[in-house]
Amino acid sequence: MRITDTADLWWKNAVVYCLDVETYLDWDGDGVGDFPGLAQRIDHLADLGVTCLWLMPFYPTCERDDGYDITDFYAVDPRLGSLGDLVEVIRTANDRGMRVIADLVVNHTSVQHPWFESARASRESPFHDFYVWRDDEPPDTSEQVVFPDQEDSIWTFNEPTGQWYLHRFYKEQPDLNVANPRVRDEVAKLMGFWLQLGLSGFRVDAVPFFLETQPGADEALPEPHEYLRSLRSFLGRRVGDGVLLGEVNLPFEQQLEFFGGAEGDELTMQFDFNGMQALYLSLARADAGPLAASLGQRPELHPDSQWATFVRNHDELTLDKLGDDERAEVFAAFGPEERMQVYGRGLRRRLPPMLEGDPRRIRMVYSLLFSLPGTPVLFYGEEIGMGEDLDAEGRLAVRTPMQWTSGRNGGFSTADPEDLPGPVVDGGFAPEFVNVADQRRDPDSLLSFMKLLIRRYRESPELGWGSFAVLEQPHDAVLAHCCVWDDGTLVAVHNLASEPRSVPLRLPDLGGAVLHDLLQDGACPVADDGSVEVALEGYGHRWLRAVREGSRRLP
């Protein structure tokens, strides 16, 4: 079994922060966020404790899919700046001890990409077989579309060639034919290009769609996982400690295949979509059972692999892995209005409004996130508790301008409001009430709490590296678990209900130790027989480090 030198596994206990440059900070006053603005806010991320910055697509685009319809894989959208501006952001981030990764979107291009403009003009085009075509009229594929409110087929007719082209997403995003060796060569070239400019890896978009055997293709894709393995190998040759963070929303057993199974030589990390959905079901029920069950179903991973945990991301909050009745429970609790839902399978809301702004519940959820085994991923604005704009279209509800101050446009831009990528959130989560500047000066703010969580997480290798176990205790609303690494043990206890709880635990291996609270003052002595009682307030949360007499570990 191959095990990489631990010095190369920086992502095991990283803190990943995702942002869209377009909505982060506008520095030149044109209404659009840009790389010079991001460079000015790298110190905010460093102060927060971020160690890996994930950039959503910054490439030239037609803006049909918020940047995911790319017209040039080798350039920066001129609205956001230049290649030089990007390199300056990477340099500044590296100087603060932060790595930078970016979206690798190679499942499709824009219809206005030069490859497709050539491909659709003639069957004789050298780029025609960069895409997937069929000559006969396709059957009904309405159930296969990703965006059912926008498309009714995954095939669109192209008049010049008299053929249909494949698009799993919008019709403005024709799928690339990865079965074509020339396409695979281009993927390697563009990866090499951005790695040479200083990236430390990629978040790989829509991995199953990218690797899926292409219907209608003349050539057969070599074994898909062998191809993914080759991309991991290529990354390793170019950047020894590079990372591939994959978007694979599949059952655990299939996700294991995308890690490379027992060898762990394909995707480095994958998002735990199953655990995220179980978390929301647990929150809706005030019952830790679904989350505990999901964590117990995680397959064992190779030491070179890792789960990425998250509460919110840039897409809809998908609930597709829940049963119909379970999804209805979550909708009823957190998205009872139809406008809060999307595609019939998810929510278009951020966490704080879903929890009605209750600071106890919000902090409990983020404490739980950072205590779970894996690498936590934050979406911009989570550190201050931003809300959503339900008047925005679809998934754009959670992609509103970052709120830096209580001033005009939330300090995002000096431009007129109509020139912004979208409106700043209003109502109870408007910049007047939620912004970075105010929370920086408030030791009791969510931002201050998130800094503490991240600091304690970074000081606790048990969470990123250790083994994990759910602890038995009698309360349905409580999740108690421990992580063990080397000679260190961390016990985390979270109450998902509003009523206080006294939680009895049995820790036979820790008899005689003292559990020191890492998030507040307090300690719990463990009896010689391993019994201990942990008190929790309503929505309470505690991280407890075991320290034995004579130990040199810091409580």
Residues serving a catalytic function are 205, 247
3-state SS track over 237-250: HHCCCCEEEECCCC
List C-alpha distances in Å: 418 to 406, 413, 500: 18, 11, 48
Distances (CA, A) of 79 to 34, 63, 359, 374: 7, 12, 37, 36
The C-alpha angle 445, 451, 455, rounded to 5 degrees, equals 150
Put the strands of the sheet holding 341-342 in their side by side order: 317-318, 346-347, 341-342
Rg of the chain on CA atoms, in Å: 24
Contact 380, 19 (CB under 8 A): yes
List Cβ neighbours of 194 (8 Å cut-off, separation of 6 or more). 102, 202
b/e burial code for range 363-401 (CB count within 10 A of at least 16 → b):
bbbbbbbbbbbbbbbbbbbbbbbbbbbbebebbbbbbbb
Q: Which residue from 449, 274, 249 is spatially nearest to 352, judged by alpha carbons?
A: 449
Q: Which two tokens stand for residue 133?
A: 């075509």
Residue with tokens 């992502």: 11
CB-CB contact of 346 with 318 (8 Å):
yes
381: left (phi over 0), alpha (psi -120 to 50) or beta: left
| Of 489, 168, 388, the residue nearest 480 (C-alpha) | 489
**What separation in angstroms does the CA of 519 have from each of 51, 534, 543?**
21, 14, 6
Distance (Å, rounded) from C-alpha 346 to C-alpha 352?
16
- DSSP, collapsed to helix, strand or coil, labels residue 464 as helix
The alpha carbon of 339 is separated from its chain's Cα centroid by a whole number of angstroms, namely 23
